[in-house]
Amino acid sequence: MKRRALLLTALLAAPHAIPEDPASLRQRLSEIQGRLSQVDQRIQALKKRRKGILIDLQQVALQVERARAQADGARIQRDQAQAEVNLLLARKGQIYQELSGLQGALRRQARWMQATGPWGAFGFLASLRSFEGYLEQERYLTWWRNRERGRLSRVQSLHSELAQREHALQSALARLHQEEKAAAEQQVGLQHHEGRLQAFLGEVQQDEGKQKALQAELAEEALQLDRKLDSLLRARPKDDTFEAGTSFAALRGELPQPVQGSLAQGFGEHIHPTYRTKTFQSGLLIAAGGGQPVSAVAPGRVFFAEAFQSYGPTVILDHGGGFFTLYTHLQSTPVRKGQVLQAGETLGAVGDTPEGPRLGFQIRQQTTPQDPNKWLKLRYQ
């Protein structure tokens, strides 16, 4: 009880930020729940795959992603409770202000009546010289009585609402306390899983056998992505084509960046500095802020939108003329197959990888990889 009183005092004393729209909070919470559902589906899918270093790494990384989504959801629920408390406090302030004005007016009226005596309000009757004047003054008295009666009724109504708001505020403060506790617990859980991931990465980095196995498995998954795109193209009906207003080929060197960031790994072959293992990057790995919106670089139709192995949630856009763009390592896939997007339209957000938040971005002509930096107006460096 003492803690609740202290919290209320602090909230009343502190300047209140404009609370976020409750509808916006609900939308954010719905997005978090969608992310969590997709993570759970990916965890279940991993159980059906052949074991390996990459699978083990994905399992630990997905647990981190799940914990992060839960922590984000807990913070949003805490924000909802805080917004409710702020609204109740604001309304209580309005009620107190209105009550103060009404009570002041009533006190002034009482002092005036005391000063003029019991017949002070009716002293004008002796000076009336006509019936018409009497009627006019009677209408004034009726208005005056109704106004005072309305003031008293409004005071009673405000006192009643104040009691209701106070009860609601105590409930909201109790809920806020619980949500703050839950958010703190989720943050501790997130830190635990992040520690597990870092320890696992440290073991792999120090073990030459595991590192070589991981590089081999990554190369195999890159081949599987190539095969997936090839199978999708083979399965597509011949008359199922997308035609954009502008030829994608004509946009070479003019495409916008899908997200602001820096180059984490460029296009082409890469040799591990210690183990000399070779991998081929079919696009760009872009380091960007986790949750940062990712945009379509050109008009296109969603050709594929679901999680794919270690690439995570993946979106493939068909731009017509045999050109495709691939966006991998997304937080989730909010778009659906067949949906038409315009250039600059959001198709997802930057997700997490064991190396940190990354976006995988590829450009393909049929299944042949292109160097995306050669297509962009502003290259990643």
pLDDT of residue 8: 42
Say yes or no to pLDDT of 5 above 50: no
What is the structure's pLDDT at 189?
Answer: 93
How far apart, in whole angstroms, are the C-alpha atoms of residue 301 and residue 340? 4
* DSSP secondary structure letters along 210-258: HHHHHHHHHHHHHHHHHHHHHHHHHHS-TT-----SS-GGGGTTTBPPS
Domain span holding position 343: 224-374
Q: Are residues 59 and 93 in the same domain?
A: yes
Average pLDDT over every residue of 361-366:
96
Same domain? For 200 and 234 the reply is: no
d(CA 355, CA 332): 18
Look at residue 211 and tell me if it is in a domain. Answer: no
Residues 172-198: pLDDT tens digits? Answer: 899 999 999 999 999 999 999 999 998
Same domain? For 131 and 232 the reply is: no
User: Is residue 212 domain-resident?
Assistant: no
Q: Do residue 151 and residue 257 come from a single domain?
A: no
Both 258 and 163 in a single domain? no
Q: Is residue 116 part of a domain?
A: yes
18-31: pLDDT as tens digits: 456 777 878 888 88
Please name the residues in contact with 79: beta carbons below 8 A apart, sequence gap of 6 or more. 20, 25
Q: Is residue 380 classed as helix, strand or coil in its secondary structure?
A: coil
Secondary structure of 98-127 as H, E, C letters: HHHHHHHHHHHHHHHHHHHCCCHHHHHHHH
DSSP state string for 15-49 = PPPPPPPHHHHHHHHHHHHHHHHHHHHHHHHHTTS
Q: Is residue 213 part of a domain?
A: no
Do the domain assignments include residue 218?
A: no
Residue 215 lies in a domain: no
DSSP of 314-367: EEEEEEETTEEEEEESBS---S-TT-EE-TT-EEEEBEEETTEEEEEEEEEETT
Residues 165 and 33 in one domain: yes
Residue 367 pLDDT exceeds 50: yes
* 147 has pLDDT over 80: no
Per-residue pLDDT of 22-67, as tens digits, reads: 778 788 888 888 888 888 888 888 888 878 888 888 889 899 989 9
Instruction: Check whether residue 171 and residue 229 sit in a common domain.
Output: no
Mean pLDDT of the chain: 84
Residues 143 and 229 in one domain: no
pLDDT at 39: 87
Over residues 261-286, mean pLDDT: 83
Reply yes or no on whether the pLDDT at 366 is more than 70.
Answer: yes
Place of tokens 């399965």: 235
Q: Which CATH number covers residue 297? A: 2.70.70.10
Lowest mean pLDDT among 108-112, 199-203, 334-338: 108-112
Q: Is the pLDDT of residue 15 over 50?
A: no
One domain for residues 114 and 26 = yes
Query: By percentage, how much of the chain surpasses pLDDT 70?
Result: 83
pLDDT value of residue 267: 95
The pLDDT, as a whole number, for residue 244 is 83
Statement to judge: residues 172 and 230 lie in one domain:
no
Measured torsion, CA atoms of residues 175, 180, 183, 189, in degrees rounded to the nearest 10:
-120
- pLDDT interval class at 272 (50, 70, 90): low
pLDDT in tens, 84-124: 898 889 888 898 888 888 878 777 776 766 665 554 555 54
| Burial of 176 (C-beta count, 10 Å sphere; 0-12/13-18/19+) | buried
CB of 325 closer than 8 Å to CB of 298: yes
In a domain, 43, yes or no: yes
Interval 291-326: pLDDT, tens: 999 999 999 999 999 999 889 999 999 999 999 999
The pLDDT score that the predictor gives to residue 141 is: 60
Confidence bin at 271 (pLDDT 50/70/90): confident
Residues 174 and 291 in one domain: no
Q: How far is CA 377 from the centre of its chain?
A: 29
Question: What separation in angstroms does the CA of 28 have from each of 75, 210, 216, 376?
Answer: 11, 39, 38, 31
The pLDDT assigned to 137 comes to 56
Bigger pLDDT: 199 vs 244: 199
Same domain, 21 and 167: yes
d(CA 138, CA 378): 81
Quickly state the pLDDT bin for 215 (edges 50, 70, 90).
confident
What total of structural domains would you count in the chain? 2
Q: Considering the entire predicted model, what is its pTM?
A: 0.72
* Domain-embedded: residue 113: yes
